[in-house]
Amino acid sequence: MNGQPSPLLAVTEALARIVAMASRYPRTTETIPVGQAAGRVLAADLVALRTQPPFAMSAMDGYALRAADAEAGRSLKVIGESAAGHPFAGKIGAGEAIRIFTGAAVPEGADAVLIQENAIVEGETLRPNSALRAGAFIRAAGRDFKAGTTGLTAGTRLTPAALALAAAMNHAELPAYRRPRLGLLATGDELSPPGPDAPEGATIASNIIGIAAMARAAGAEVINLGIARDNEPSLQVAFDRAMAEKADLLVTIGGASVGKHDLVRPVLVSRGAELDFYRIAMRPGKPLNFGKLGAMLYLGLPGNPVSAMVCATLFLMPLIGLLQGDLSAADDRSEPAFLGAPLAENDMREDYLRAALSHDSAGRLIATPSGDQDSSLLSVLHRADALLIRPAHAPAEQAGAPCRILRIP
Question: Is the model's pLDDT at 3 over the cut of 70?
Answer: no
- The answer to whether position 367 is within a domain reads yes
What are the CA-CA distances from residue 181 to residues 32, 218, 330 (Å)?
17, 12, 19
Nearest to 256 by CA among 291, 303, 314, 312: 303
156/112 same-domain check: no
Question: Is the model's pLDDT at 285 over the cut of 60?
Answer: yes
- Per-residue pLDDT tens for 136-183? 999 999 999 999 999 999 999 999 999 999 999 999 999 999 999 999
The number of folded domains in the chain is 4
318/377 same-domain check: no
- Per-residue pLDDT tens for 239-264? 999 999 999 999 999 987 666 667 99
- The answer to whether position 348 is within a domain reads yes
Task: Supply the CATH number for residue 106's domain.
Answer: 2.170.190.11
294/194 same-domain check: yes
160/184 same-domain check: no
Residue 278: predicted pLDDT: 86
- The answer to whether position 328 is within a domain reads no
Per the DSSP assignment, residues forming a β-bridge with 175 are 31
**Range of the structural domain that residue 106 is part of:** 57-139
Task: Supply the CATH number for residue 201's domain.
Answer: 3.40.980.10
- The answer to whether position 144 is within a domain reads no
Question: Pick from 303, 323, 343: which residue ends a domain?
Answer: 323
86/216 same-domain check: no
Contact 185, 300 (CB under 8 A): no
- The answer to whether position 4 is within a domain reads no
- The answer to whether position 33 is within a domain reads no
259/296 same-domain check: yes
44/72 same-domain check: no
Entry pTM: 0.85
- The answer to whether position 248 is within a domain reads yes
Specify the range with the lowest mean pLDDT, choosing from 120-134, 144-158, 258-272: 258-272
185/76 same-domain check: no
Task: Supply the CATH number for residue 387's domain.
Answer: 2.40.340.10
CA–CA distance, 126 with 75 (Å, rounded to integer): 6
CA–CA distance, 25 with 322 (Å, rounded to integer): 9
- The answer to whether position 3 is within a domain reads no
Question: Pick from 92, 115, 139: which residue ends a domain?
Answer: 139
**DSSP characters over 109-153:** T--EEEEGGGEEEETTEEEESS---TTTTEE-TTSSB-TTSEEE-
